[in-house]
Structure 1
Amino acid sequence: MKKHSSSNSDVNGGGSRREDFEVAVDVATLQDLSELLHSQPKKLYSESRHRRQIQKIPPHIRSRNIRRSQQVYDPVLVSIGPYHHGKPGLRRAEEFKHLCLDCCAGGDDKKKAFFYSKILEKASAIRDCYAEAEIVEKYDDKSLALMMLLDASIIIDFIHNYLGMKGNNFLDWRRCLGAGSWPLMIRDIMLMENQIPLQVLKLLIAMQYEEGEAASFLPRFFAGFLTCKTRLVGVDLKNAEIPDEIEDPSIHLLEAVRKVIVKKKKKKKKNEIEEQHTLTSEYSLVNKNVFMLSKFPMREETVDAGISYMHRSVMDLKAKGIRIRSDPDLSPGEITFVPGVCFSELHLPIQYLTPVVVENMIAFEVLPHGCSSLVVLSYAIFMKSLVQSPQDVKELQANGVMLNRFGNLENVVQMIKEVDTFGLHDQDIFKDVKRRIEEHCRSKARTWLADLIYSRVRTPWTAIALFAGVLLLCLTFVQTFFTIWPTNQRAL
């Protein structure tokens, strides 16, 4: 009868056939399938998919270039958190953490015990902050709390010294870890895998400092965590501001620093915008159009109907009459194109971040449990399109956009090319900027004038010679005119 009803269902329609199929499934088979499904690891997607977590770089990313992955994603001085804890090469810093804890507690054992007890109370919440549960499970609550205490202590002591606060122990850092430990420390605390929950850091800061100092401790560091940024831009560390984190608190230090970097400045008044003709791109919807790049290199990218954007280098833009200008007030998502009658300007933020920090921020943006916007990723891709040769780097350096701390321009080009963008590209964030650039480059009048100035008139002597030649030509024409038609003949 079952087979007969199934045959009828084939004739009558698909709906009845589906019902017969469901009824025909054996109960034991359903039970076996249910048990098998429940035994599969699905916690990652069911319970924590809506929560940002501290995670490791996936193996398929590291396997693309293992040696470079180690240089970019692994700490070289100090381990922060459980992912790199206990590595033999980081043992010296592990011993130094105890000295930093003494400085944070003022050598008071009761204070240390109090700090430890407060962190131990949050051991369960700390575990939930890490995506790799099997690594965190190696440590019991007491060991995990001690790890968090020591790691937070060395970060706080480093920031304390960096800000030049009273009671700093810079000589201890130099004696124990070496004179070059500070740049390495900045690098290591900006690694995605080398993080502790930011709430643990804030908790220890609140217990160690007075209310006013505790409130400004991290903001002051965020505003000038790189010396070159403070020196060039003139950041006021005492009055630094950071984005509001009440609704969306940062999970770790790297995310908090990224928020400061990509924070949009206050919009200018309408009349100022009309005067400057600025076109600041909005990146609130940056994650809408993300697509995979082809494995074959392509020079064109569609940015609007009928307009395709060519990946033009800095020198190409200069030859077309587009000047590069640095603007310390711009964030990576606020690249601005200012059109002009003859010449235009491309305003870029000062590039003061190291490639390691940029790549870890990109990894945080594109990997699961990251953030909803791809600002740093899009900025990195835009800069990679601008820098194609050492001459491009030299031009950016001359205009104050890029800080070349390596000397060799070719090395800078190679480092920019090696920045891993995970094969992704965003089309919207700089859509208006790219469209305006392409419109300028397709204007014959502007490009001819730029070619005349940059290619033909390279020196003042060439300009003088050109002016003299034009003047001589005009005088010759006037002389010829008066020779053919003398004044007395024209009077008659």
Structure 2
Amino acid sequence: MAEDAKVAREAKLAQLLNQTFQDNNQISSTPKIQRVPLFWRQKTSFYEYCIPKMISFGPIHHRNENLKQQGQHLKSQWASLYIEEYSKEVGPCNGNKQEAANYLYGVVGYNIVELKELFAEDVIEEYSDEELIWMLFEDGCSLLYYMDHVDVQRPEELKLKLDQLMHTWRDIELLENQLPIKLLQLLSKTQGADLDYLLINFMSMGEAKRSGRTTITIPIRNHILDFLRSSYFHTEIEQNVPNQNGGIQMPPPPPPPPRPRSSLVWQTYKNIRDLKKSGIQVKVNKSDEWKWHDITFTSRWFGGELTLPLWVFSNVTPYFFRNLIAYEMCPDFRNSFECCCYLSFMDSLIDNAEDVKELRSAGVIQNLVQSDEEVAKFFNDIGNDFPAKMFNQIYTTDAIPISKKYIQVRRQIQEHYSSRWRTFLAETRSTYFSSPWSLLAFLAALSGLILAVLQTWYTIHSPKN
């Protein structure tokens, strides 16, 4: 028995010592299409916003019977209509729909090995190659048709009612409903040349097509959700470099310089109301483009000014942002946590509905559907589990480049908030100069004091009779 135990232990040790990271598990800027990370799937209140409610795309929810009742029929219709358009617009098909279908199906089949590499192994292992080829062929054609014909003003273009259009549009953005851009490039009428236009048209819900824009140039991303995420920050923040295999891989971050212990800055303010009491006013950024890091802070003698981008809360918001969070936290995705950093920063300003009201009054938040309590709950519920929160709360780190902007602003706010002199000046201004009446009362009191001093001086120094 002892000898058997020794042999088993040595076998385990040998296996442990020979463990290596596989190339297909490397962290890069082109993560595989995968499930929501397990950490978030275990939180029911979070994961319920990551599950499609009406239609599925790709392998993860393909066998969900609830989605097949209506979603599958819609996808089949859109795929058929797309193939018909393809046969008429692409020369070699000469209007032959059957020939176009055979060609597109063959394209997917010819590239199936490469396409399978774009999915996590556990989401496709239960499908045969034939099942995957048909699924990607039908789903890809239907999605391209949807992106081209989506129009919030004319939902009948997709044989939908307005409420159905909104539900399908929202489902297409979910992390577990993504199709690789490579598939859409293979199936597109122009071999991918029109994808930038289709992505913009989808994002704007048909506005691009209605406005007559035909040429739009944007960086092509991994899938629709990745494109939506990247549209909210400047592309130079994430610099992608080719790896030896021809893919795209993020360069490793530089080592952080040593920092003295005195550089630690702890956040002592609780919410936006605390900042307001110290003289800090909030204003909305007037930029035409919404970017995650369009925040600035300016400190002055009698107060400060915090500028934030406009944030709109709608029915789609809880779904969209939770899926962005899940995407940024995928274990094989090297990124800068733009969404997590932004939401963590907003969470540092919001404790309850009163803080939301302050930001709404300043024009920073537009609450279209929910109460202020629901908006505050949204930030508080998801804000506690961010990796970015620990970085932003303590001191800057080079591990997350984008977080430097938020850390810089937080540091500036904290330094202003901790200054007793500035707080005293702000309170004085608020007490005596916040309204015309308080100003008049202050001037009257000051005038009375000056007159009393002059009268006393004159009494003491007046010449004797």
Smaller-chain TM-score range?
Answer: 0.7 to 0.9
Match of 2:245 in 1: none
1:118 and 2:107 matched: yes
1:161 and 2:149 matched: yes
Counterparts of 2:423 and 2:12 in 1: how far apart (Å)? 68
Counterparts of 1:169 and 1:183 in 2: how far apart (Å)? 12
Counterparts of 1:397 and 1:285 in 2: how far apart (Å)? 39
Deviation track 1:294-341 (CA, whole Å, cap 9, x = no partner) reads: xxxxxxxx9962632225311111111222222234622343222334
- The match for 2:298 among 338, 353, 356 is 338
Deviation of the 1:150 alpha carbon: 2.9
Change beyond 3 A, Cα 1:237–1:440: farther
Counterparts of 1:214 and 1:330 in 2: how far apart (Å)? 22
1:188 and 2:183 matched: no
Match of 1:127 in 2: 116
- The match for 1:179 among 159, 162, 182 is 162
**Contact 1:332/1:379, CA 8 A, preserved across alignment:** yes
Match of 2:40 in 1: 61
* 3-state SS of paired residue (1:262): coil
One-letter amino acid of the counterpart of residue 262, structure 1: F
Counterparts of 1:482 and 1:136 in 2: how far apart (Å)? 97
1:76 and 2:65 matched: no
Counterparts of 1:265 and 1:303 in 2: how far apart (Å)? 32
Match of 2:132 in 1: 144
One-letter amino acid of the counterpart of residue 79, structure 1: S
* 3-state SS of paired residue (1:193): helix
**Contact 2:196/2:217, CA 8 A, preserved across alignment:** no
**Contact 1:287/1:426, CA 8 A, preserved across alignment:** no
Deviation of the 1:81 alpha carbon: 0.9
Counterparts of 1:379 and 1:462 in 2: how far apart (Å)? 39
* 3-state SS of paired residue (2:365): coil
**Contact 1:220/1:240, CA 8 A, preserved across alignment:** no
One-letter amino acid of the counterpart of residue 88, structure 1: E
Structure 1 stretches of 5 or more lacking a match?
Answer: 1-24, 267-283, 290-301
Counterparts of 2:36 and 2:264 in 1: how far apart (Å)? 39
- The match for 2:379 among 416, 419, 423 is 416
Structure of greater relative contact order (alpha carbons < 8 Å, 6+ residues apart):
2
Change beyond 3 A, Cα 1:478–1:305: same
Deviation of the 1:106 alpha carbon: 3.1
Match of 2:411 in 1: 435
Change beyond 3 A, Cα 1:286–1:260: farther
* 3-state SS of paired residue (1:317): helix
Change beyond 3 A, Cα 1:33–1:286: closer
Counterparts of 1:256 and 1:330 in 2: how far apart (Å)? 14
Match of 1:96 in 2: 74
Change beyond 3 A, Cα 1:306–1:361: closer
Match of 2:247 in 1: none
User: Which range moves more in the overlay, 92-101 or 107-116?
Assistant: 107-116
Counterparts of 1:306 and 1:368 in 2: how far apart (Å)? 29
Deviation of the 1:443 alpha carbon: 2.1
Matches within 5 A, 1:17-416: 33=11, 37=15, 45-50=21-26, 52-63=31-42, 65-66=43-44, 68-91=45-68, 92-106=70-84, 108-131=97-120, 133-162=121-150, 170-171=155-156, 173=158, 176=160, 178-207=161-190, 211=193, 213-219=194-200, 221-222=202-203, 224=204, 242-243=218-219, 250-263=221-234, 305=263, 307-327=265-285, 328=287, 329=289, 331-352=291-312, 354-416=317-379
* 3-state SS of paired residue (1:180): helix
Deviation of the 1:414 alpha carbon: 0.8
**Contact 1:161/1:169, CA 8 A, preserved across alignment:** no
One-letter amino acid of the counterpart of residue 124, structure 1: V
Counterparts of 2:265 and 2:150 in 1: how far apart (Å)? 49
**Contact 2:279/2:423, CA 8 A, preserved across alignment:** yes
* 3-state SS of paired residue (1:338): strand
- TM-score, length of structure 2 as denominator length: 0.75
Max radius of gyration: which structure? 1
Query: Percent identity at matched positions?
Result: 23
Change beyond 3 A, Cα 1:81–1:415: same
Deviation of the 1:34 alpha carbon: 8.7
User: Which range moves more in the overlay, 383-392 or 304-313?
Assistant: 304-313
1:446 and 2:422 matched: yes
Deviation track 1:41-60 (CA, whole Å, cap 9, x = no partner) reads: x89x5141126211112444
Deviation track 1:374-410 (CA, whole Å, cap 9, x = no partner) reads: 2211221111111112121112222222221234111
One-letter amino acid of the counterpart of residue 396, structure 1: L
Counterparts of 2:201 and 2:226 in 1: how far apart (Å)? 16
Counterparts of 1:242 and 1:217 in 2: how far apart (Å)? 11
Structure 2 stretches of 5 or more lacking a match?
Answer: 86-96, 238-250, 397-402
Counterparts of 1:334 and 1:148 in 2: how far apart (Å)? 38
Change beyond 3 A, Cα 1:171–1:347: same
**Contact 1:364/1:371, CA 8 A, preserved across alignment:** no
One-letter amino acid of the counterpart of residue 440, structure 1: H
* 3-state SS of paired residue (1:309): coil
Counterparts of 1:226 and 1:396 in 2: how far apart (Å)? 31
Deviation of the 1:421 alpha carbon: 5.5
**Contact 1:105/1:208, CA 8 A, preserved across alignment:** no
Change beyond 3 A, Cα 1:371–1:254: farther
* 3-state SS of paired residue (1:339): strand
Change beyond 3 A, Cα 1:420–1:345: closer
- Alpha carbon RMSD of aligned pairs, Å? 4.0
**Contact 1:191/1:254, CA 8 A, preserved across alignment:** yes
Counterparts of 2:253 and 2:427 in 1: how far apart (Å)? 36
One-letter amino acid of the counterpart of residue 111, structure 2: K
Counterparts of 1:236 and 1:337 in 2: how far apart (Å)? 39
The aligned length equals 410
* 3-state SS of paired residue (2:369): coil
